[in-house]
């Protein structure tokens, strides 16, 4: 089901700037056991993205009502996607003075990942290198060709994720997830000030680590840091925490380690 | 008028990957005196973009028929935009094995630039810095948030263009145009292997310069090179060649010089 500006529909104007320029933002939320998980954090990030792009944030109450309408029609656990574009208008790249943003909220089947993913997944290293763009780093905007190109590198369903370096040889994230390394009891995750996305689950894991008194830092990381790590995991709002237990090409293995297990177990008990 | 996959329409599926990820390409052509200018060059670049993104190029004959249909309904000189997306489908960023691309071709009024633009325009220097992304450099893809953000910096209609540096302090292009500097009889234009667009008019000007025996080179250029230049001009398929005669903030003036005039006059006589 899709609601477009609150109405059931499945098409948008061809003039929409989301299509023309990727001029918009999105959020991907888990709807589980009747609850939109981490809704406030998602709306907060959407609001931050709106500020960065200069798109008026929609009436929050109206948006929440629309989400409730959509979820009421969604019996089972689902993925809910919110897209917000600047709407139509303007002259070329120049945005209209009074933007009329388009809200597109839609429900999608939860991907059928096997339960075993929570005990370990296999990833590969993408050949595609992320560019560097501090102005767009962190926010979840609609310019996602880099992820599309990286994800096009493999077909094997057993490979659950592709890790991405950037053009400066820094290790940044997975195509659809944030990355965490654990080295000698310390948790590290790549800084996302040059590229990458500020994942909601990434922020949640940082919070959990602090709560559990595990040292955690955001920093510049390289492939060497990955090779040196004792445990590795990837996160997003749908998969939550997946231990990365195997990298292929170059081949390397990590255990489903004790700190990753602690974070997974703590996350399970976290209010969403 | 808009033709979507050959049919008059003005809406596209909300599931289209052009909207979801900016997963597509576009071309902007001038339709003047009954002719789609530099059509073959535009189709050639579109084809190159398709190769880079792995999007199947549509049947060329069919696309040309659709363009002819659109132009037949377009009495006056117009801007024709071709968009080609990967269509709907796939799982997240992963593209479908068999893409079903969407063709959106549309006509738009020619912008009402005053004739005086051909004798000189005013530009400014954008604060927004282009990122660096060699994988996407050159092609005209739908991830255009950088241009949207740079173009949002000014409202004054008398300022016709904004010049853009990248995060490495290299001078790259205008928000909607390519840039040329003339220094001691030599024509130079920024290299576009790290970012920027390989404009059709840019290629045409390089060809014309060679024909006129004026030395021309693509190279890494900085703001200093701009300040040192004897003549400056910007190009795109719609504006053709605009001499840049004034930069504001920092203020600088250049003449509508002799080499720029020669190129403009040669371009007028060029078969399109």
Contacts of B213 (CB under 8 A, 6+ apart): none
Q: How is residue A68 written in tokens?
A: 């409730």
Helix residue ranges, H only, B94-234: 145-151, 200-211, 223-228
Contact A12 B15 (CB under 8 A): no
Arithmetic mean of pLDDT, B241-246: 98
pLDDT score of A75: 73
Provide the domain count of chain A.
2
Reply yes or no on whether B28 is catalytic.
yes
Looking at the structure, do residues B57 and B124 belong to the same domain, yes or no? no
Looking at the structure, do residues A85 and A130 belong to the same domain, yes or no? no
CB A179 within 8 A of CB A123: no
Residue A47 is part of a domain; what is its CATH number? 3.30.470.10
Contact B10 A12 (CB under 8 A): no
Looking at the structure, do residues A132 and A104 belong to the same domain, yes or no? no
Residue A140 has phi, psi (to 5 degrees) of -100, 75
Looking at the structure, do residues B88 and B133 belong to the same domain, yes or no? no
- Residues spanned by the domain of B129: 115-268
Contact A93 B167 (CB under 8 A): no
A109, A131, A155 - which closes a domain? A109
Looking at the structure, do residues A69 and A178 belong to the same domain, yes or no? no
Contact B131 A132 (CB under 8 A): yes
- Among A9, A14, A145, select the one facing B143 at the smallest CB separation: A145
Contacts of A159 (CB under 8 A, 6+ apart): A122, A123, A124, A248
Q: What percentage of chain B's residues is helix, strand, coil (to nearest 5)?
A: 25, 35, 40
**DSSP 3-state of A236:** strand
pLDDT score of A272: 86
Looking at the structure, do residues A144 and A102 belong to the same domain, yes or no? no
A49, A82, A109 - which closes a domain? A109
Looking at the structure, do residues A68 and A143 belong to the same domain, yes or no? no
Q: How is residue B3 written in tokens?
A: 């033709």
Looking at the structure, do residues B141 and B242 belong to the same domain, yes or no? yes
At residue B249, does pLDDT exceed 90?
Answer: no
- Among B12, B136, B146, select the one facing A145 at the smallest CB separation: B136
pLDDT score of B150: 98
Residue A226 has phi, psi (to 5 degrees) of -65, -45
Residue A174 is part of a domain; what is its CATH number? 3.20.10.10
A34: left (phi over 0), alpha (psi -120 to 50) or beta: left
Which residues of chain B are within 8 Å of residue A112 when distances are taken between CB atoms? none
pLDDT score of B75: 72
CB A172 within 8 A of CB A149: no
Q: How is residue B91 written in tokens?
A: 């799982």
**pLDDT tens, residue by residue, B24-39:** 999 999 999 999 999 9
**pLDDT tens, residue by residue, A53-104:** 999 999 999 999 999 999 999 978 999 999 999 999 988 999 999 999 999 9
Looking at the structure, do residues B130 and B241 belong to the same domain, yes or no? yes
Residue B256 distance to chain A (closest CA, Å): 26
pTM of the model: 0.97
Looking at the structure, do residues B9 and B125 belong to the same domain, yes or no? no
pLDDT band at B104 (very low <50, low <70, confident <90, very high): very high
**pLDDT tens, residue by residue, B188-224:** 999 999 999 999 999 999 999 999 999 999 999 999 9
B109, B132, B160 - which closes a domain? B109
Looking at the structure, do residues A256 and A135 belong to the same domain, yes or no? yes
Looking at the structure, do residues B215 and B88 belong to the same domain, yes or no? no
Residue B95 distance to chain A (closest CA, Å): 7
At residue B108, does pLDDT exceed 90?
Answer: yes
């Amino acid at each position: 089901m899709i609601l477009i500006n609150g109405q059931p529909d499945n098409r948008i104007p061809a003039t929409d700037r989301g299509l023309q320029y990727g001029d918009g933002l999105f959020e991907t939320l888990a709807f589980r056991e009747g609850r939109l998980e981490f809704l406030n954090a998602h709306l907060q990030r959407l609001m931050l993205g709106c500020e960065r792009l200069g798109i008026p944030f929609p009436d929050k109450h109206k948006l929440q009502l629309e989400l409730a309408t959509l979820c009421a029609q969604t019996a089972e656990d689902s993925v809910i996607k919110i897209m917000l574009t600047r709407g139509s208008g303007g002259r070329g790249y120049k945005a209209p003075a009074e933007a009329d943003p388009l809200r597109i909220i839609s429900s999608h089947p939860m991907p059928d990942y096997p339960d075993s993913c929570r005990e370990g997944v296999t990833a590969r290293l993408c050949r595609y290198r992320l560019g560097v763009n501090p102005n767009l780093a962190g926010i979840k905007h609609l310019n996602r060709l880099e992820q599309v190109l990286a994800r096009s590198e493999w077909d094997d369903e057993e490979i659950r994720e592709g890790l991405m370096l950037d053009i400066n040889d820094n290790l940044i994230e997975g195509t659809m997830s944030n990355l965490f390394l654990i080295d000698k009891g310390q948790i590290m995750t790549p800084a996302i000030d040059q590229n990458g996305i500020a994942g909601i689950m990434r922020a949640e894991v940082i919070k959990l680590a602090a709560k559990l008194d595990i040292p955690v830092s955001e920093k510049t990381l390289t492939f060497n840091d990955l090779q040196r790590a004792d445990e590795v995991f990837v996160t997003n709002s749908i998969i939550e925490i997946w231990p990365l237990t195997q990298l292929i090409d170059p081949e390397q293995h990590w255990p489903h380690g004790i700190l990753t297990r602690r974070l997974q177990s703590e996350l399970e008990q976290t209010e969403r």
